[in-house]
């Protein structure tokens, strides 16, 4: 079962979209509003080595229809939720283990990793299948086995299997990426 693939044959986003992303980072107009979080995440407690750890969240900033159209024409014909995602390492170094709520795959173009040691990690939970389906959380790292991990290259499209528990570790800055969802693997 695949966890990720590098899609280095796809075009980079046009400069006009890169400029909008840079402005969002500069303005910090993406601030994470905990009231806007999905209910599953509001009271979540995550444990590592038996201790509660701080963790961060993704914040999604939608782009206009022009960006959605560009993504459907150049990246995936059925792309949805095309926008930019941020997570702030000041909230915590982990984007805790989860499967995505409404997509089977994520297609990402990483602009800033969020720190020099940041890794995307896939896990298998004790006694559970590797492929879990949508909207699953794992809150205790001691019950997880790492099945794959990677430091993604910047400015390259990658595809992630989001039906396998995955997370991000060692986030110290602001992780920034163009990201879109899809439910069909076409490569």
Is 159 contained in some domain?
Answer: yes
pLDDT of 44 reads 81
pLDDT at position 60 is: 79
Domain extent, residue 164, equals 4-27+47-182
- Look at residue 67 and tell me if it is in a domain: yes
Q: What's the predicted TM-score (pTM) here?
A: 0.91
Q: What's the domain count of the chain?
A: 1
* Residues forming beta bridges with residue 73, ordered by sequence position: none
Residue 122 falls inside a structural domain: yes
Residue identified by tokens 């402005």 is 23
pLDDT along the chain (187 residues), means of 10: 96 95 74 55 82 85 90 97 90 92 96 97 98 95 98 98 97 94 93
Does residue 169 lie within any of the structural domains? yes
Backbone phi and psi for residue 160, each to the nearest 5 degrees, phi listed first? -120, 135
Task: Please check whether residue 124 lies inside any domain of the structure.
Answer: yes
CA angle 136, 59, 119 (to 5 degrees): 65
Confirm whether 94 is domain-assigned: yes
Tokens (6 digits) for 40: 């599953």
Task: Give a yes or no: residue 54 inside a domain.
Answer: yes
- The CA distance from 97 to 137, in Å, is 6
For the domain that residue 112 is a member of, what is the CATH number?
Answer: 2.60.120
* 36 found inside a domain: no
User: Over the stretch 34-75, which tens digit does the pLDDT of each residue have?
Assistant: 555 556 656 788 899 999 998 887 777 788 899 999 999 999
Distance CA 142, CA 59 (A): 27
Which is nearest to 55 in space by CA: 161, 140, 179?
140
Write the burial class of residue 82 (CB in 10 Å: 0-12 exposed, 13-18 middle, 19+ buried): buried
Q: Provide the edge-to-edge strand list for the sheet that holds 4-6.
A: 4-6, 157-161, 105-112, 174-182, 80-88, 59-62
């Amino acid at each position: 079962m695949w966890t990720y693939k590098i899609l280095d044959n796809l075009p980079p986003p046009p400069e006009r979209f890169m400029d909008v992303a840079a402005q969002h980072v500069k303005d910090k107009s993406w601030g994470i509003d905990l009231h806007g979080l999905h209910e599953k995440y509001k009271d979540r407690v995550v444990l590592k080595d038996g201790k509660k750890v701080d963790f961060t969240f993704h914040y999604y900033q939608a782009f206009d229809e022009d960006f959605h159209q560009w993504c459907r024409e150049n990246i995936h014909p059925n792309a949805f939720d095309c926008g930019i995602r941020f997570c702030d390492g000041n909230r915590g170094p982990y984007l805790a283990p989860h499967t995505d709520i409404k997509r089977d795959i994520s297609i990402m173009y990483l602009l800033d990793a969020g720190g020099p040691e940041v890794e995307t990690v896939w896990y298998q939970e004790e006694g559970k299948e590797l492929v879990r389906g949508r909207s699953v959380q794992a809150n205790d790292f001691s019950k997880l086995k790492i099945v794959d991990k990677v430091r993604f290259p910047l400015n390259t499209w990658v595809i992630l299997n989001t039906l396998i528990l995955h997370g991000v570790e060692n986030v110290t800055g602001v992780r920034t990426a163009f990201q879109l969802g899809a439910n069909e693997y076409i490569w």
